[in-house]
Amino acid sequence: MLTLGQTAPDFTLPCDGGISFVLSAAQPAPVVVFFYGQDGTPSCTNEVMEFNTLLPDFAAAGVKVIGISKDKVAAHDKFKAKMGIGFALGSDFGGQMMESWGAFGEKLFFGKQVIGVLRSTVLIGGDGKIAQMWKVDKVKGHAAEVLAAVRGL
């Protein structure tokens, strides 16, 4: 599990467009890493699009944004093209990165205990340390909350 103040574990994930995202290569820029369930589902699409709408503000603050799901890269390519998404969508198809970051596990889904992606966000400072973490229960307004935290760095 991740803790505030620890150095974020480095990762490399394949992304849409045939690129890879390497966390350590993003430094010294702060990075917002958010985990979501699946491209094209209503709540996940809303979350991705809220981050996308605020992308110019994140960019003005010098922050990189990456959304990560277990979707394959081909699905990300289609989703990104359809929705006009301006940031990287990483594919953790096997879920190993999500598990190690505490973003995959048991959750309540429509009243049933299931195993799946735990919607969450991690803000990593330019020094590579975890500045803030969120377990996301409500998508609406979450990206703005993260942006406010970014501005407080």
The rounded distance, in Å, linking the Cα atoms of 99 and 120 is 12
Give the C-alpha distances (Å, rounded to integers) separating 20 from 26, 91, 135: 11, 9, 25
- Identify the three-state secondary structure at position 47: helix
Computed on alpha carbons and rounded to an integer, the radius of gyration of the chain in Å comes to: 14
What is the set of active-site residues? 44
